[in-house]
Amino acid sequence: MGTPINTAAGAAHAAILGVGAYRPRTVVPNADVIEAIDSSDEWIQQRSGIKTRGFAQDDETVVMMSVNASRQALDRAGIGPEQVGTVIVATVSHLLQTPSAATMIAHELGTNKAAAFDISAACAGFCHGVALAADMVRSGSSGHVLVIGVERLSDITSPSDRGTAFIFADGAGAVVVGPSEVPGIGPVVWGSDGEHYDHIRQDVPWDDALEQATSGELAEAPHLVMQGSAVFRWAAFEMAKVAQEALDRAGITPEQLDVFVPHQANNRITDAMARAMKLPETVQIARDIIDQGNTSAASVPMALERMISDGQARSGDTALLIAFGAGLAYAAQVVTVP
């Protein structure tokens, strides 16, 4: 037995205290993306529900969008940046290998040297971050944790790739997780189906791209590719089970649920999940994808923020969050709307 080591003591419970979002200024209708992929407005709407998406301009960087979403979340939580103990950024489109986006964001926000790191769980990243944050608040690792989901997928999507060009988009969402007198974040149900590792991925690894660039063979920058039908089947069938398990573990029945905020991957996947879970018609369902597209790690907090702003989700409501994507990785939890 070594010398006993002190451990930290955290809060009894954790909750989401505030939600913020940043939506890119440039709204791009289907009409502007169809030519390069030989598609139509009607096909895109029917297959995905998407009518428009936000594409970031040069100044709308990963850091800028994150800082804006975070300031809104902090304001709404009534928390100053100096109270933030940790900044977790979920993203796959911060295109600098190191350092993390989180350190830069923590600095720009004016935190007091908050711990800061990025996590890579693709579209599921935000819900992974919320799970980590809740555990950190309860364990005493941090008083308040800022969790950001942010993407500039337009930087890593080929405008001529038929399977992805109309789906992926840009934006940021953020939440403040902090101490609470009552439980506000239920147990996470998370995991990975790594046998489908190649279903959504960057087509060419950076080292191969660098070699091709050096030898003058690089035709286009590496971009995302996706086996659309396989991902659709996996998400529609497997994710409803994960969502149901998150409800069960939180002790919530579908009848007690007020709000369902699935990853905004595709409206048809959302419909399939809601049907499989037999969600009552009283449950409000996020449909942010219609005008924001699929913003990967940013989609759940952006959709939640929209529902709160529109009055579809009210303070005290019980919401089910679920996110899933490349890896294939997934995470779900029940939360109380702040």
* Preceding omega of 179 cis (within 30 degrees of 0): no
Q: How far is CA 264 from CA 53, 215, 236, 267, in A?
A: 12, 39, 13, 7
Residue 304 touching ligand COA (CB under 6 A):
no
Among 43, 155, 179, 203, binds ligand COA (CB under 6 A): 43
Q: Which of 30, 266, 267, 294 is the catalytic position?
A: 294
Any idea what the Cα angle at residue 173 is, between residues 171 and 177, rounded to 5°? 165
Residue 233 touching ligand COA (CB under 6 A):
no
Quick one: which of 8, 16, 3, 305 has its CA closest to 144? Answer: 16
Question: Minimum CB separation from ligand COA for residue 76, in Å?
Answer: 27
Residue 39 touching ligand COA (CB under 6 A):
yes
Site string for ligand COA, 250-269 (x = CB under 6 A): ---------------xx--x
Q: Which of 128, 199, 263, 266 is the catalytic position?
A: 263
Q: Give the residue at shortest CB distance from ligand COA.
A: 228
Residue 232 touching ligand COA (CB under 6 A):
yes
Amino acid at 104: M
Runs of H (alpha helix) within the chain? 41-48, 62-77, 101-109, 125-139, 206-214, 228-250, 267-276, 289-292, 299-309
Q: Note if 123 is an active site residue.
A: yes
Among 16, 37, 127, 257, binds ligand COA (CB under 6 A): 37
Q: How far is CA 14 from CA 98, 112, 130, 251, in A?
A: 31, 21, 10, 17
Amino acid at 64: M
Site string for ligand COA, 264-303 (x = CB under 6 A): -xx--x------------------------x---------
Residue 162 touching ligand COA (CB under 6 A):
yes
Nearer to ligand COA, 45 or 139 (CB): 45
The structure tokens listed for 213 are 């660039």
Nearer to ligand COA, 17 or 44 (CB): 44
CB-based burial, 323-333: b 16+ in 10 Å, e otherwise: bbbbbbbbbbb
Q: Note if 263 is an active site residue.
A: yes
Residue 117 touching ligand COA (CB under 6 A):
no
Nearer to ligand COA, 7 or 229 (CB): 229
Residue 51 touching ligand COA (CB under 6 A):
no
Residue 48 touching ligand COA (CB under 6 A):
yes
Residue 231 touching ligand COA (CB under 6 A):
yes
Name residues whose C-beta falls within 8 Å of residue 2's C-beta, 6 or more positions apart in sequence.
none
Backbone angles phi, psi at 255, to 5 degrees: -70, -25
Query: Catalytic amino acids?
Result: 123, 263, 294
Site residues (CB under 6 A) for ligand COA? 37, 39, 43, 47-48, 123, 162-163, 166, 226, 228-229, 231-232, 265-266, 269, 294, 325
